[in-house]
Amino acid sequence: MINQFFAYILQGTSVTVAVTLVALPLGLILGLLFALIYNYGGFWVSRFAAVYSLVMRGVPPIALLFILYFLLSGQMVNLSPFWAGSISLGIISSAYQMEILRGALQAVGEGQMIAARAIGMTRLQAIRYIIIPQAIRLAIPPWSNEASIVLKDSSLVYAIGVPEILRRAQQLSATTQQPFLAFGAAALIYFVLVFLVNRGLDLLAEKTKLPASMA
Amino acid sequence: MKKITWLISLIVLVSLLLTACGGGAQSHLEKIKQAGVIKVGTSADYPPFEYVDENGNKAGFDIELMEEIAKRMGVKVEWVDMPFDSLIAGVQEGKIDCSISAFNYTEERDKVVDFSEAYYTAEDAFLVAETFTGSITKPEDVAQYKVGVQSGTTQDDWLTNVLQIPEQNLSRYDRADQAALDLKSGRIDVMMADAIPAKALAQKIGGLKIVYTGVLSSGPMNIVLPDGDTELAQAINDILKQLQQEGFIDQLAQKYFTE
Amino acid sequence: MTDSPYILQAKNLTKIYGENVIFKDISLDVKKGETIVIIGPSGTGKSTLLRCLNLLTPVNSGQIFLEGEEITAHGVDHDQVRQKIGMVFQNFLLFNHLTALGNVMIGLTKVKKMPTEKAKQKALHELERVGLADRAHHYPAQLSGGQQQRVAIARALAMDPLVMLFDEPTSALDPELIGEVLGVMEQLAHEHMTMLVVTHEMGFAREVADRIIFMEKGRIVEQGSPEELFEHPQHARTREFLGKISELYGKKEKK
């Protein structure tokens, strides 16, 4: 019976992984866009990016989820609970990823931009070929942290009817009155997922690491 | 300026198109029948009304009842599991066709959704630890103790608005079993819940006893339906009446509530 | 192009930052193949002048001509212009995520859209010119300061610039590394590369420059051949400055 229960909770993993696989890249694309706008855009667009970040980091994910799913979805586009959930999480994550990337872009330094412009690169070429490749390297460690957070926050989609790991654990806890077993199983699965993500990104960081200064 | 005008016309055009596509002549009931599927919301963490069994399938009094109603409507049930608090919003915004989840009628809820006829009348119970030394002989007595309740339920509503328990003495839980566990560990003195699940909880967890039962907060249970959807309400009420007369509901109660 | 005798010409350039006049009314003619060294105390606008010449910093007034065409005119593509003006910075500014080869190649592949294989050949050739072909696959962090600066020179040379600007190219280097960079620059001068060099290396100025410009407080005080300037300076300020600088850098000059 315990095996069966564990299998039931485990089935939620695909939802958790799928939500994360949508939310995280979406957050990365939006976050990078806003970070670039913030760092290199004009006064007003840069203000806009700052306000976006402030608002999205202030909104509880569940509130955005409800607004998107219950209020907006169905008016213009019809979003399934899965997509509404993944997109809301992606939007919230984009604000945090923006902050990570913003810092990383700044850390690359003004000199790299000047040197790139000096050989005739356009601003966009400089950002794409010189600034971003260096910023991404700097961003991997904090980004790994954000990936774990999104992975765990993905459980929120249960609120609109997507049965992921945590919701399944709740159901079994209610049925069996064995919360430690049910939530323990959920925690174990999350731990494995987070471990894999962090390990993977560590490897990536190791692989893309630039040689240290000979000092 | 031109760009803005252009953008606005585009938005208007798109919304017109969407309305045109969406606003068919079909009623909600016809659409359900045509699809052959009714999307029913439930919060499957409330045994014995709705829960997940050992095989991971939905089970319980409400579940079986709704499956039977759907069968008689000639459609299949597509279960949508949501936390209890999301269900009303789900029906209200048309994300699910209706919801069965041991709902009781409240005026607040009636403002935004409709209710079917009652299919079952639930009693409330006060649950205490077996070591409890206080005395509860009438409902008002609980006001002097630390009380736990599942958040958003009619019991929550009754404790808050009718009995007006001070906030610091009222603990609200996401799920009934959490409250029961806290009761056992002594973090709260009394727990209020539906009588039937309360009995089930007391048995499963052990060390708990029921000190009072009666109809206080809730009374009848109803299926939650979209506001103003009289056609669907009629169809479901008719079937409920049949099931009542045939003794189906009594048999179901026997199966799930007496152990 | 046009038959202007000058590769680079500046007319009445003025640069103001807020209240500060960085330089005022600077005019300059650079002939093809000429090596000009600009000297002067720190903070007299020499570096800003170089940055203005390749349009990294806008001037407040005045005109700049490259091969007779005004590049300060409205609608001129600055990125196109910068491809033709090489720049070497005091602190090298190599792209940290690219190898020496990558640093030299990237302008060719991304800006000039040269096919990778061809760009690689050219980049290797440029690295050879600065004597670093064997360091092609080293990252900036794995190179000494002198080597980094030579890669930076190769990076600028790869774009086949009409003129090279050097902004204190040896100021950030340990004394023992200065020679290798100056050596490369000297060789470029012999190859008749047109060069504009801001430096405190008086030995280099004396030996390599065709013309020396002494700038102070945002103005050109005096200019002429090394001999004229070093042996017969016309202005008291020039004399004073040269006196101080040879005191400071004297030992190094003897080498």
Whether A213 contacts chain C with CB within 8 A: yes
Task: Find where tokens 């990536």 sit.
Answer: A204
Domain ranges within chain B, ordered by starting residue: 28-120+222-257, 124-214
- Closest chain A residue to C111 measured between Cα atoms? A121
Best CA proximity match to A98, nearest among A164, A176, A33, A168:
A33
Sheet holding C85-88, edge to edge: C85-88, C163-167, C195-198, C35-39, C211-216, C219-224
One-letter amino acid identity for B16?
A: L
Q: Which pair of tokens denotes residue B18? A: 């969407």
**Residue B66 · residue B40 · CB < 8 Å:** yes
Q: Is A in contact with B (3 or more beta carbon pairs below 8 Å)?
A: yes
Give the separation between CA C183 and CA C176, rounded to whole angstroms. 12
d(CA C152, CA C129): 12
Output DSSP code: residue B53.
-
Give the sign of the dihedral formed by CA C73, CA C78, CA C84, CA C88: positive
CATH 3.40.190.10 describes domain B124-214: yes
Neighbours of C91 (CB within 10 A): 16
Query: Chain A within 8 Å of B110 (Cβ-Cβ)?
Result: no
Q: If DSSP codes are grouped into helix, strand and coil, which group holds residue A120? A: coil
CB contact under 8 A, B52 and A8: yes
How many other C-beta atoms lie within 10 A of the C-beta of residue B180?
Answer: 28
What is the predicted pLDDT for the residue at B25?
Answer: 67
Return d(Cα A21, Cα A30) in angstroms, integer.
Answer: 14
Confidence of residue B16 (pLDDT cuts 50, 70, 90): very low
| CATH of range B28-120+222-257; options 3.30.470.20, 3.20.20.70, 1.10.1740.10, 3.40.190.10 | 3.40.190.10
Token pair for residue B248? 């189906």
Q: ∠ at Cα A86 (A84, A91), nearest 5°?
A: 95
- Among residues 117-156 of chain B, which lie with CB inside 8 Å of chain A? none
pLDDT recorded at residue C249: 63
The residue that leads in pLDDT, C253 or B57, is B57
Q: Same topology for domains B28-120+222-257 and B124-214, yes or no?
A: yes
Decide if pLDDT at A214 tops 70: no
Which chain A residue has its CA at the smallest distance from C87's CA?
A: A118
Residue among A181, A175, A173, A162 nearest B51 (CA): A175
pLDDT at C47 over 50: yes
| pLDDT at residue C250 in the model | 54
Chain A contact present for C113, CB below 8 A? no
Average pLDDT, rounded, for chain B: 86
Residues C143-152, mean pLDDT to the nearest whole number: 96
Contacts of C97 in chain A (CB under 8 A): 130, 133-134, 137, 210
Alpha-carbon separation of residue B102 from B46, B64, B143, B219, B222 (angstroms): 9, 13, 25, 11, 7
Amino acid at A181: L
What mean pLDDT is predicted for residues C65-84? 94
Interatomic CA distance for residues A140 and A92, integer angstroms: 19
- The region of weakest confidence among A23-32, B160-169, C160-169, C179-188 is B160-169
Element at A31 (helix H, strand E): helix A2-40
Between C29 and B218, the more confident residue is: C29
C172 touches chain A (CB under 8 A): no
Chain C stretch 81-110, residues whose beta carbon is closer than 8 A to a beta carbon of chain A: 81-84, 86-87, 89, 91, 93-97, 106-107, 110
Q: What is the model's pLDDT at position A54?
A: 95
The token pair at A57 is 């980091």
Give the integer Cα–Cα distance in Å for A116 and A132.
12
Weakest mean pLDDT among A76-85, B112-121, C126-135: A76-85
Q: How confident is the model at residue B19 (pLDDT cuts 50, 70, 90)?
A: very low
What does the alpha-carbon distance between residue B129 and residue A97 come to, in Å, rounded to a whole number? 49
Helix (H, G, I), strand (E, B) or coil at A53: helix
Q: What is the pLDDT of residue B259?
A: 46
> What is the residue-wise DSSP string for C106-169?
HIIIIIS---HHHHHHHHHHHHHHTT-GGGTT--GGGS-HHHHHHHHHHHHHHT--SEEEEEST
Question: Nearest-CA residue of chain A relative to B95?
Answer: A70
The 3-state secondary structure of C59-105, one letter per residue: CCEEEEEECCEECCCCCCCHHHHHHHEEEECCCCCCCCCCCHHHHHH
pLDDT digits (tens, 9 = 90+) for A121-136: 999 999 999 999 999 9
DSSP A177: S
Structure confidence at residue A181 (pLDDT): 87
Q: How far apart are CA B90 and CA B43, in angstroms?
A: 12
**Cross-chain Cβ contact B52/A179 below 8 Å:** no
- pLDDT band for position C67 (cuts 50, 70, 90): very high
Report which of C72, C249, C96 is spatially closest to residue C178, judged by C-alpha positions: C249
What angle is formed at CA C139 by the lines to CA C137 and CA C144, rounded to 5 degrees? Answer: 110
Residue A215 pLDDT > 50, yes or no?
no
User: Chain A residues contacting B, CB < 8 Å?
Assistant: 1, 4-5, 7-8, 11, 66, 69-71, 74, 76, 81, 158-161, 163, 167-168, 170-175, 177, 179
- Is the CB of B92 less than 8 angstroms away from the CB of A70? yes
Q: Is C231 helix (H, G, I), strand (E, B) or coil?
A: helix
Assess B207–A contact: CB distance below 8 Å, yes or no.
no
User: Whole-angstrom Cα distance, residue A183 to residue A204?
Assistant: 31
Q: How many CB pairs under 8 A join A and B?
A: 84
* pLDDT tens profile C99-125: 999 999 999 999 999 999 999 999 999
pLDDT band at C254 (very low <50, low <70, confident <90, very high): very low
pLDDT digit string, tens, across residues A138-151:
999 999 999 999 99
Q: What value of ipTM does the predicted structure carry?
A: 0.91
SS3 of residue C48 by DSSP = helix
Whether the predicted pLDDT of B21 surpasses 70? no
Partners of residue A111 in chain C, C-beta under 8 Å: 89, 91, 93
At how many degrees (to 10) do helices A179-208 and A165-176 cross? 160
Closest CA to C21 of C64, C59, C54: C59
Q: Is the Cβ pair C91, A111 closer than 8 Å? A: yes
d(CA B98, CA B225): 5
Phi-psi label, residue B163: left if phi above 0, alpha if psi -120 to 50, beta otherwise:
alpha
Tracing tokens 């509901």 back to the chain, one arrives at B249
Query: Which region holds residue A120: left if phi is over 0, alpha if psi is between -120 and 50, else beta?
Result: left
For residue C175, is the peptide bond before it cis, meaning its omega torsion is within 30 degrees of 0?
Answer: no
**Which 3-state string (H, E, C) describes B150-211?**
ECCCHHHHHHHHHCCCCHHHEEEECCHHHHHHHHHHCCCCEEEEEHHHHHHHHHHHCCEEEE
Q: Does A70 touch chain C (CB under 8 A)?
A: no
A125 in C contact zone (CB under 8 Å): yes
Contact present, B and C (at least 3 Cβ pairs less than 8 Å): no
Any residues with CB less than 8 A from the CB of A10 and at least 6 apart, and which? A165, A185, A189
Give, for A23, the enclosing helix (H) or strand (E): helix A2-40
Average pLDDT value for residue range B221-246: 94
Question: How many CB atoms lie under 10 A from the CB of residue B237?
Answer: 17
Distance of alpha carbon B149 from alpha carbon B176, whole angstroms: 7
Yes or no: say if A154 and A62 are a contact pair by the CB < 8 Å rule: no
Assign residue A12 a region (left: φ > 0; alpha: ψ between -120 and 50; beta: otherwise).
Answer: alpha
| Element housing B99 (H / E) | strand B98-99
Angle, helices A179-208/A2-40, rounded to nearest 10 degrees: 40
Spell out which residues of chain B touch residue A66, defining contact as CB-CB under 8 Å. 86, 89
- Site of tokens 């019809």: A78
Average pLDDT over residues A63-84: 83
